[in-house]
Amino acid sequence: MGWRAGAVLTVSLGLAACAGDVPPPTAELGAASQAVLAAEQAGAPRFAPVELQSARDKLAAADTAMREDKRTEARRLAEQARADAELAAARSQRALTQEAAGVVRQQANPPQAAAPAAPSTPGYGSSGGTAGTLGTLPSGSSYAAPSTVPPTTLAPGGAGWGGGYSNPEIRP
């Protein structure tokens, strides 16, 4: 059993030596700093202030961890700061795009005054308070009314077939 304990001790010391040799996360800190600047330029102070502040706080904590020689913690915080800054930039770009789309939509469809109601013209299928005549078509039509259908007057008010039906060829 002595050799097993020696092997475990050797492995443990080897891992501890590797943990002490963690390279400084200068690339991660630089990337996080650049991401924060990009988010600020993208409008994050206006559109994503919470995410931007989180990124700034984590970047400051990563700098502090780096000064205290806590390289693993500094790397983790720098990566989180970069992710928060990228989220802030993405939300800002989305909000700016939505604003621009709203402006374009408004310019493409300006508010219009209410369109006047179409006048009710007597004729085939007319309704709306005036008496219409079946068997005739609205003016401007290229189709002639059939000659075998006698004109029939609708009752005033568009009441249809009930009440005011009359045919000039049929006498009561």
In Å, how far are 87, 89, 97 from 101, measured between CA atoms? 21, 18, 6
pLDDT per residue as tens digits for the range 46-71: 999 999 999 999 999 999 999 999 99
Q: Which long-range contacts (CB under 8 A, 24 or more apart) does 17-25 make?
A: 19/72, 22/71, 22/72, 22/75, 23/71, 24/66, 24/71, 24/74, 25/62, 25/66, 25/71, 25/74, 25/75, 25/78
Per-residue pLDDT, 40: 97
User: Which helix (H) or strand (E) is 152 found in, with range?
Assistant: strand 152-153
- Comparing 135 with 57, the larger pLDDT belongs to 57
Q: How many CA atoms lie within 13 A of 94 on its CB side?
A: 8
Q: What is the CATH number of domain 23-107?
A: 1.20.1270
Q: Give me the residue spans of the domains in the chain.
A: 23-107, 122-157
pLDDT per residue as tens digits for the range 97-123: 999 999 999 999 887 766 666 655 555
Per-residue pLDDT, 22: 85
Q: How many CA atoms lie within 13 A of 152 on its CB side?
A: 18
One-letter amino acid at 57 equals D
